[in-house]
Structure 1
Amino acid sequence: MVDAKQVRFIIGIIGTIISPTFWRIYKKKSVEEFQPWPYVAAMMNCMLWVFYGLPVVHKDSILVTTINGVGMVFEALYISVFLIYCGGKKNIRRKVGLYLVAEVISVAAIVLITLFAIQNSFAKQTFVGVICDIFNIGMYAAPSLAIKKVIRTRSVEYMPFWLSFIGFINAAIWTAYSLIYKLDLYVLISNGLGTTLCASQLIVYLMYRNATPKDDGKTKPSEIEIPGTV
């Protein structure tokens, strides 16, 4: 019989590997209008959650570490594929490299502060958990910035359905993850809010998907994706 821990692991993995944009880039051999920054941000998110799940921070969340460790591998793969097919985008490889180095330095600083400057276990969990939640909520909230433009232009091209739908599924999966077996407030808070944010994006999409677009005279912006992380 499958126990709760196994269920948590399975749904966590599902939440990690959802990323259709990766397959689209691979099939078309072109990054089109996509940008690497969501993947770069997701890498930072995964690194933070990997640390959060370690016993030195949270004593019963090792699955968060293992699942996001898998997530880091996928994000590295996504970034690699993007850089392979980014074509003539000037300096993109150098910029991505610099951002990744900055992320590693930032995470290292957080690790050092947690291990050597904070002694209380609850304080450690709170410090790292809050930082993880800030990044997680920011990733879920990013597509909501397009809602105003969708309403103004009456065009859902600025907020693709699959972006919001996959974000919703991912957030819902991780919300369920936090509720199964043992409650994890930091995973629950950011993903519970993420579920609400993505649901609001889907509602806006459904409201305007058959509307007659208004031409705002601007080109389609680069699409943003929320890769499947905690």
Structure 2
Amino acid sequence: MALHQHELAFIFGILGNIISFMVFLAPVPTFYLIYKKKTAERFQSYPYVVVALFSCMLWIYDALVKNNATLLLITINSYGIIVEVTYLAIFLFYAPKKLRSQLATIKLLLLLNLFGFEAILLSTLYLSHGNTRFQILQWIRLVVNISVFGTPLLIIREVIKTRSVEHMPLIHSMFLTVKAVMWFFYGLFLKDYFIAVANTLGFLFGA
């Protein structure tokens, strides 16, 4: 018996959750190395942690705004917030106090995750309603989702400079690519084309 589109969306949503779980865990070796060395050295946290944390926050808010809040998205992104906050705490604790990346992380954390998210909440809750609110969130989510896939490219300069992929684990990029494929089909079968488009671009970045 042929599966209906919503059933296929649910299957790819489950697969997307599993792969997303692996994506969140992929940086564990890097942060274990930071813990072991007791220093973050030249590691840049904002591509992996700050932007990913903001994305998780936005996905949960977007899911809650919808009348049919998607449990799959809420579950994995709640887990993602816990993991990313843990990574962030490890980085800030072990980063040299005068390291530029530490200051950049704190600034971006305040700008994006505090003031940026608060601005989105205020503008969508009080300045827009109904379909307009939904459309605004969809476009913001699209941009942020693309950023999550694109920000690891910022590490390439450091990789070229040091000739080491220590802080850009290939397994993380691999899981991001597979994740994009799973969530693309989830969005396609759910007819949420914002999810599908964002993950199409995510696949291209990962490839």
Q: Is this a same-fold pair by TM over 0.5?
A: yes
Matched length: 191
**Residue equivalent to 1:23:** 29
1:121-172 CA-partner distances (Å, limit 9, x unpaired): x22221011111111112323345678999x99x795976434323212212
Matches within 5 A, 1:114-193: 114-120=124-130, 122-144=131-153, 161-179=170-188, 182-193=190-201
The answer (yes or no) to whether the contact 1:52–1:58 under 8 Å persists in 2 is no
2:13 corresponds to 1:8 = yes
**Residue equivalent to 1:73:** 82
**Residue equivalent to 2:3:** none
Equivalent AA in structure 2 for residue 12 of structure 1: N
Task: Tell me how far apart the structure 2 counterparts of residues 90 and 186 of structure 1 sit (CA, whole Å).
Answer: 40
Task: Tell me how far apart the structure 2 counterparts of residues 9 and 32 of structure 1 sit (CA, whole Å).
Answer: 37
**Residue equivalent to 1:108:** 118
Task: Tell me how far apart the structure 1 counterparts of residues 141 and 33 of structure 2 sit (CA, whole Å).
Answer: 33
2:56 to 41, 46, 49: 46
**Residue equivalent to 2:42:** 33
Gaps in structure 2 of 5+ consecutive residues: 1-6
Displacement of 1:67 in angstroms is 1.9
1:8-51 CA-partner distances (Å, limit 9, x unpaired): 24532431442432323214524343211120111111111111
Provide runs of 4+ in structure 1 moved above 6 Å.
Answer: 145-150
Structure with the largest fraction of helix? 2
Greater mean deviation of Cα atoms: 185-194 or 90-99 = 90-99
Displacement of 1:72 in angstroms is 0.8
The answer (yes or no) to whether the contact 1:174–1:187 under 8 Å persists in 2 is yes
Task: Tell me how far apart the structure 1 counterparts of residues 158 and 81 of structure 2 sit (CA, whole Å).
Answer: 32
Gaps in structure 1 of 5+ consecutive residues: 200-230
The answer (yes or no) to whether the contact 2:174–2:206 under 8 Å persists in 1 is yes
- The TM-score normalised by the length of structure 1 is 0.67
- The TM-score normalised by the length of structure 2 is 0.74
The answer (yes or no) to whether the contact 1:58–1:125 under 8 Å persists in 2 is no
State the superposition RMSD in angstroms. 3.3
Greater mean deviation of Cα atoms: 31-40 or 187-196 = 31-40
Task: Tell me how far apart the structure 2 counterparts of residues 144 and 98 of structure 1 sit (CA, whole Å).
Answer: 20
2:202 to 182, 186, 194: 194
Greater mean deviation of Cα atoms: 137-146 or 170-179 = 137-146
Decide whether aligned partners of structure 1 residues 32 and 21 sit closer, same or farther in structure 2, where only a CA change above 3 A counts: farther
Task: Tell me how far apart the structure 1 counterparts of residues 171 and 56 of structure 2 sit (CA, whole Å).
Answer: 22
Larger radius of gyration: 1
Decide whether aligned partners of structure 1 residues 174 and 16 sit closer, same or farther in structure 2, where only a CA change above 3 A counts: farther
Displacement of 1:82 in angstroms is 1.7
The answer (yes or no) to whether the contact 1:46–1:72 under 8 Å persists in 2 is yes
The answer (yes or no) to whether the contact 2:12–2:183 under 8 Å persists in 1 is no
